[in-house]
Amino acid sequence: MPSVSRRYASGEVRFDRPSGHADPEQQAPVVLMVSGGADSTALLVLAATSTLDIDDGRGLARIARERLHVLHVNHQLRGIDAQEDEEFVRDLANRYGLPCTIERADVRALTAAQGGSGNAENTGREVRYAAAARLANELSAQFGTPRSAARILTAHTADDRAETFFMNAIRGTGPAGLSSIPRRRNRIVRPLLDRTHQELCDLLRMRGIVWREDATNEDTRFLRAFVRHEVMPVVERRNPSVVASLSKTCDILSDEDAYLHAQAARALRDLTRRSGEGMLSLDAAKLAAADVVIARRVVRQALLALCPEVRLDARHIEAVLRLVAAGHGSVSLPLAIDARVAYGMLFLRTQDAGAAQGVRAEWLDVPGVLQLDGGRSLRARIVPVDAGGDPELMARAHGSEWAGESVLLDAPACGIDPTSGGRLWVDVPGRGEVLCPLGMHGQSKLLSDLLRDAHVPPSERGAVPVVHTDPRGHVVWVAGVRADERVRVHGASRWLLELSLR
């Protein structure tokens, strides 16, 4: 039987991979996040000796012992107490024959390195979940199971859920915050959400198992401790069943939040007109017409898609929606994200994208000149075909002379009126954008593939201006690379559009 190795904090052990199951979710690793407190101690005991619902479709069931792996993260914030917590968890895991990984992190130093932008509680949480994700990935590779099949179990209880509800309400939040702690988020599962802290303490006492107490849990300077010791007792006097009631409320809010999230994701796909590395443009007019509950979520999802680490408040979302309602203007958001509304479009760009691209979405007047970064410019003018002239020959000779830096196209096919002129839309290459390259007889091709075949490095593709008929229109010219077949010069062309990149 194949085996994989695991490492205790003190050494290495080998044990057999679970076998006899075709379903990878029933043989994938299960990481138990154990701090040593009553709730996480109970999680370890129940996982090793009883049944839990780890949300794999089987409901309450025994977890194969070979799948279990304990993780303890020492934040090094509480001196000797933190060291004793670590030793307690190691001994407890050993008592039940479970492999245990200990990680240590200087949370105080990590928080200080953020320059006052974070706090130790948030930093500690990020460190714990990052460690759990790494361990789950490593174990998945050793087990030979998909990463997505792994489970990371936390010991959150119904009390934690109620406290988080009030904490988020105090801070100010939306439906997602009031949903409090979800039962599952991707690989992270909370199988104890229907149990109270007191129930778990009673279970441990009945089995004669002790646990560790964290003195900071009593310090009401921390918001959770304030809610636990100052708010919850008052509320429970009014309604002794408030924890159970809030748990049901959180389930309802969580279901409704998931539905609205899916609706907003669908709306975001429909509203997206251009997307690239560090940039996104949405149809501002349609966004303004959307229900505000969906519009808020669309903006939030779009910003998180651009920059997953950005921390957004309601005021940031409302600032963007005010621009959308006004139809113009710009605002700077956290992590130097730029939001701008112009020409009926909402443009979202990160700072790095703006620096690397050298191209900002803008109209190019015909005739006219559009200045680009780096001293470059795009020029457009209308060229008549002389009587008896051969427009196709003119276009070929022009292209040969300028080696792609300038092209002649059919002006009306580009949407340009030969007598009054017009304008074209210039933007960066969009993710998934398609064109019909000149010379391919109407066959379509991904713009990314065209740039790859032209040997334009990915790091430089954001600096390639792409000319469109309008913000939602098709490609006219990928500047310096290739024109589109749909606007090529033909024998009947009488007015030509000259585009030049210099």
pLDDT band at 266 (very low <50, low <70, confident <90, very high): very high
pLDDT band at 471 (very low <50, low <70, confident <90, very high): confident
Contact at 8 Å (CB) between 379 and 407?
no
pLDDT band at 441 (very low <50, low <70, confident <90, very high): confident
Domain 3-159+182-221 fold is Rossmann fold (3.40.50)
pLDDT value, residue 8: 44
As a whole number, mean pLDDT of residues 375-386 equals: 89
In 3D, which of 209, 242, 252 has the Cα closest to residue 42?
A: 209
Highest mean pLDDT: which of 18-22, 197-201, 349-353? 197-201
pLDDT value, residue 12: 42
pLDDT band at 313 (very low <50, low <70, confident <90, very high): confident
Domain boundaries, the chain: 3-159+182-221, 257-355, 358-501
Highest mean pLDDT: which of 50-59, 150-159, 450-459, 476-485? 150-159
Phi (first) and psi of residue 412, to 5 degrees: -60, -35
pTM: 0.64
Q: Which one is predicted more confidently, 24 or 323?
A: 323
What SS3 class is residue 180? coil
pLDDT band at 174 (very low <50, low <70, confident <90, very high): confident
pLDDT value, residue 374: 67
pLDDT value, residue 189: 96
Contact at 8 Å (CB) between 74 and 85?
yes
pLDDT band at 239 (very low <50, low <70, confident <90, very high): very high
pLDDT value, residue 164: 93
Q: Which one is predicted more confidently, 284 or 117?
A: 284
In the predicted model, is pLDDT for residue 21 greater than 80?
Answer: no
Q: Which helix (H) or strand (E) holds 408?
A: strand 406-410
As a whole number, mean pLDDT of residues 355-372 equals: 78
pLDDT value, residue 399: 84
Q: Which of 34-43, 357-366, 473-482 has the lowest mean pLDDT?
A: 357-366
pLDDT band at 116 (very low <50, low <70, confident <90, very high): low
pLDDT value, residue 462: 77
In the predicted model, is pLDDT for residue 1 greater than 60?
Answer: no
What is the bridge-based pairing of β-strands 61-62 and 51-52? antiparallel
In the predicted model, is pLDDT for residue 15 greater than 70?
Answer: no
From residue 132, give the alpha-carbon distance in Å to each of 4, 37, 127, 209, 423. Answer: 19, 18, 9, 25, 54
pLDDT tens string 95-114: 999 999 999 988 888 888 87
Helical residues (DSSP H) of 104-196, grouped into ranges: 107-112, 120-143, 158-171, 175-178
DSSP string for residues in 424-450: EEEEPPPTT-EE-BTTSTT--EEHHHH
As a whole number, mean pLDDT of residues 76-83 equals: 88
pLDDT value, residue 352: 65
As a whole number, mean pLDDT of residues 430-443 equals: 85
In the predicted model, is pLDDT for residue 147 greater than 70?
Answer: yes
Percent of all residues in the chain with a pLDDT value above 90, rounded to a whole number: 56
pLDDT value, residue 162: 94
pLDDT band at 3 (very low <50, low <70, confident <90, very high): very low
What SS3 class is residue 214? coil
In the predicted model, is pLDDT for residue 5 greater than 70?
Answer: no
Contact at 8 Å (CB) between 435 and 484?
yes
Q: Give the chain's radius of gyration (CA, Å).
A: 30
In the predicted model, is pLDDT for residue 250 greater than 80?
Answer: yes
What SS3 class is residue 165? helix
In the predicted model, is pLDDT for residue 395 greater than 80?
Answer: yes
Q: Which one is predicted more confidently, 461 or 201?
A: 201
pLDDT tens string 397-420: 998 888 778 999 999 999 999 888
pLDDT band at 355 (very low <50, low <70, confident <90, very high): very low
Helical residues (DSSP H) of 308-412, grouped into ranges: 314-326, 351-357, 391-402
Mean pLDDT taken over the chain = 87
Q: Which one is predicted more confidently, 189 or 362?
A: 189
pLDDT value, residue 310: 84
pLDDT band at 229 (very low <50, low <70, confident <90, very high): very high
pLDDT value, residue 236: 93
Q: Which of 260-274, 340-354, 434-448, 457-471 has the lowest mean pLDDT?
A: 340-354
CATH of 257-355 among 3.40.50.720, 3.40.50.150, 3.30.465.60, 1.20.1250.20: 3.30.465.60
pLDDT tens string 122-143: 888 899 999 999 999 999 999 9
